[in-house]
């Protein structure tokens, strides 16, 4: 096992770009190799040792045997974990744009917040963010129509707008709240949100499933109420409790599933009696 530790010396007002420094490319590197490397900073390149003290310990025969540890505030370091296929990246601070973008394997942990496009177009691996994320988490890049196709994203805080845009596989779990248009254009995969959702989840979705445990602010007109389901099993996982089930988005002849916690969203029911809390289906009202 090889451990490569980046201890931050100074920050940059212009973001450093780490797209060349994934585990696939550097698993054979020594401290001397890093001493010769210049990192892109805007339109220029500068020695990476101007910004980090880099320590290399152990040996690796493949990217799977590498752990990158980044200590400091990486809020101005983009593309950490970009296109990695294996190994681990531990960021002990915040991360800038595109953390974990296009990764196909391995594990990236952000012990802080992440900026926009976290986990963009992932096909495998696991991205875990202990804080909040900005917009387009697990989404496609601007102008593209395919986002995450596989892998797992876990956000312990809140997620910004259009989380899971164009999701075509894999799963996203937001333990906090989520802004507007989660799962817009999704065709497959699962988005689970423990907290509240602002507005319009699943807009123009064709397939896949969205599960909301908190309160939904506003639902799009393209979703048709199917009834109340108890302990639904979705993609092999059982979600305990009662959920209002919708299908949509019918504007695109979509067959996606939207499940929202019935107790937290009584105002969304087509019929509800305050004196009857033992509801199972709409017909029980």
Residue 269's pLDDT is what?
78
Residue 270's pLDDT is what?
66
pLDDT for residue 272 is more than 60: no
Mean pLDDT value across residues 10-18: 96
Locate the domains of the chain by residue range.
116-284
Residue 87's pLDDT is what?
98
Mean pLDDT value across residues 61-86: 97
Helix (H) or strand (E) holding 185: none
Helix (H) or strand (E) holding 239: none
Dist CA 274 CA 285 (whole Å): 10
Strand residue runs (E) in 111-223: 126-129, 152-155, 168-174, 188-193, 209-212
Tens digit of pLDDT for each residue in 160-207? 999 999 999 999 999 999 999 999 999 999 999 999 999 999 999 999
Mean pLDDT value across residues 30-36: 97
pTM (2 d.p.): 0.93
Confidence of residue 285 (pLDDT cuts 50, 70, 90): very low
Percent of the chain whose predicted confidence (pLDDT) is above 70: 94
pLDDT for residue 48 is more than 90: yes
pLDDT for residue 116 is more than 90: yes
Q: What letters, b where the CB count within 10 A reaches 16 and e where it falls short, cover 165-186?
A: bbbbbbbbbbbbbbbbbbbbbb
Partner residues linked to 44 by β-bridges: 41
End-to-end CA separation in angstroms for the chain: 61
Residue 280's pLDDT is what?
41
């Amino acid at each position: 096992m090889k451990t490569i530790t980046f201890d931050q010396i100074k920050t940059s007002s212009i973001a450093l770009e780490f797209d060349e420094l994934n585990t696939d490319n550097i698993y054979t590197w020594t401290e001397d190799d890093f001493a010769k490397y210049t990192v892109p900073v805007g339109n220029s390149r500068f020695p990476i040792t101007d910004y980090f003290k880099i320590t290399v310990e152990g040996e690796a025969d493949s990217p799977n045997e590498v752990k990158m540890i980044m200590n400091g505030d990486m809020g101005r370091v983009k593309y950490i974990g970009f296109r990695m296929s294996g190994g681990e990246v531990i960021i002990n601070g915040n991360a800038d744009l595109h953390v974990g973008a296009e990764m196909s394997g391995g594990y990236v942990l952000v012990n802080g917040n992440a900026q926009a496009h976290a986990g963009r177009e992932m096909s495998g691996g696991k991205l875990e963010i202990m804080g909040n994320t900005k917009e387009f988490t697990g989404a496609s890049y601007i102008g593209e129509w395919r986002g995450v196709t596989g892998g797992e994203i876990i956000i312990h805080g809140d997620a910004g707008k259009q989380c899971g845009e164009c999701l075509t596989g894999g799963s996203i779990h937001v333990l906090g709240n989520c802004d507007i248009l989660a799962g817009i254009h999704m065709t497959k995969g699962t988005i689970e949100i423990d907290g509240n959702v602002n507005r319009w989840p699943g807009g123009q979705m064709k397939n896949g499933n969205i599960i909301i445990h908190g309160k939904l602010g506003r639902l799009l007109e393209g979703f048709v109420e199917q009834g109340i389901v108890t302990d639904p099993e979705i993609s092999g996982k059982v979600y305990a409790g009662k959920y209002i089930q919708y299908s949509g988005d019918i504007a695109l002849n979509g067959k996606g599933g939207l499940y929202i916690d019935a107790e937290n969203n009584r105002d969304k029911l087509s019929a509800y009696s305050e004196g009857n809390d033992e509801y199972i289906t709409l017909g029980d009202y």
